[in-house]
Amino acid sequence: MVASDQGGMQAVPRHVAVIMDGNGRWAERRALPRAAGHRAGARAVRATIEHALRRGIAALTLFAFSSENWQRPAEEVGLLMQLLLEALDREVAELGANGVRLHFAGDRSRLAPLLVERMDEAARRTAGGRQLDLLVAVAYGGRWDIVQAARTLAAAVAAGRIDPAGVDETTFAASLATAGRPEPDLFIRTGGERRISNFLLWDLAYTELWFSDTLWPDFDERIFDAAISDFASRQRRFGRTAAQVGRS
Ligand code: FPP
């Protein structure tokens, strides 16, 4: 709970998942190269993490690079990877000092070995963080995650480690790259599109969705707070009736 602008207390989502869309358009509107939009987007990432810490949000998941983003021009893919590497070099010490545990989800097979090494190092160095669990989705796709979980479980069945009847929602969720954290309470997508775009397909089953036309580099604490306030006004029923959950 956190104090609202109206003076009362409002529920804060435990886990917020974000699609950071609109970097390219932000740059194009300023007649700047797309790279400038991604750099501005990286600054908005920093501000978002700081605000999540201020609001006491326990987990934040950011979609930095999707399975489909490999189809972008090689130059832009290279820049996004470079930005990630630079952000790790620049921010890991401060993230650790602020109690942020940083880790990654995604298909590492096409990532540069140096980037994978830095990602592992960042995860190791921040493993003790207890204030905010920050998961960065890199080369990630919701379908990829479901398929890799299915493959893991199929291999365990084939090896006789588990019985097919033992595959249920709990064991499946535990095999996802996103395992070990609560499911997202609030999903935010900036940039005007109203779709999930292959993000967290399993995890978003009961997440509250919030969309903004704001382009990602312009996302700030005011807009983040607007999303949190809107979340607090939602009635979450998880399939039950309004009477069962105690609110009309
Ligand atoms: C979407 O904008 C954004 C991305 C594909 C990449 C997100 C990356 C960052 C915010 C920077 C680095 C990240 C970290 C974690 C340091 P878009 O290019 O699709 O924009 P458009 O739809 O306007 O073209």
What are the mean pLDDT values of the chain's consecutive 10-residue runs (248 residues total)?
56 97 98 97 98 98 97 96 96 98 97 98 98 98 98 97 96 97 97 98 98 98 98 89 78
CB 197 within 8 A of CB 168: no
CATH number at residue 137: 3.40.1180.10
CB 6 within 8 A of CB 50: no
Q: Pull the structure tokens for residue 14.
A: 């435990």
- CB burial string 12-38: b at 16+ within 10 A, e below: bbbbbbbbbbbbbbbbeeeeeebbbbb
Distance of CA 19 from the midpoint of ligand 1 (Å) = 9
Q: What is the pLDDT of residue 6?
A: 46
Q: Which domain holds residue 63?
A: 15-142+182-240
Does any domain span residue 6? no
Does any domain span residue 10? no
Q: What is the pLDDT of residue 45?
A: 98
Please report which residue ranges of 18-141 form alpha helices under DSSP H. 23-29, 34-55, 74-97, 113-125
Indicate whether residue 83 lines ligand 1 (CB < 6 A): yes
Residue with CA closest to ligand 1 atom 24: 24
The residue whose CB lies within 8 Å of the most ligand 1 atoms, and thus the one to mutate among 18, 23, 84, 193, is 23
Phi first, then psi: what are they for 105, rounded to 5°?
A: -130, 135
Q: What is the pLDDT of residue 248?
A: 47
Does any domain span residue 128? yes
Total tally of structural domains belonging to the chain: 1
Does any domain span residue 40? yes
Active site (annotated) includes residue 213: no
User: Half-sphere exposure of residue 116, counting CA atoms within 13 Å on the CB side?
Assistant: 9
Indicate whether residue 87 lines ligand 1 (CB < 6 A): yes
Determine the Cα–Cα distance for residues 94 and 8; give it in Å rounded to an integer: 32
Q: Hey, which residues does 137 pair with through a beta bridge?
A: 63, 105
Q: Give me the catalytic one of 21, 133, 185, 203.
A: 21
Please classify residue 161 by burial: count the beta carbons closer than 10 Å to its beta carbon, then call 0-12 exposed, 13-18 middle and 19+ buried. exposed
CB 16 within 8 A of CB 210: no
Distance of CA 190 from the midpoint of ligand 1 (Å) = 10
Active site (annotated) includes residue 107: no
Candidates 237, 107, 238; CA nearest to 176 is 107
pTM score, two decimals? 0.94
Parallel, antiparallel or unpaired: strands 208-211 and 186-189: parallel
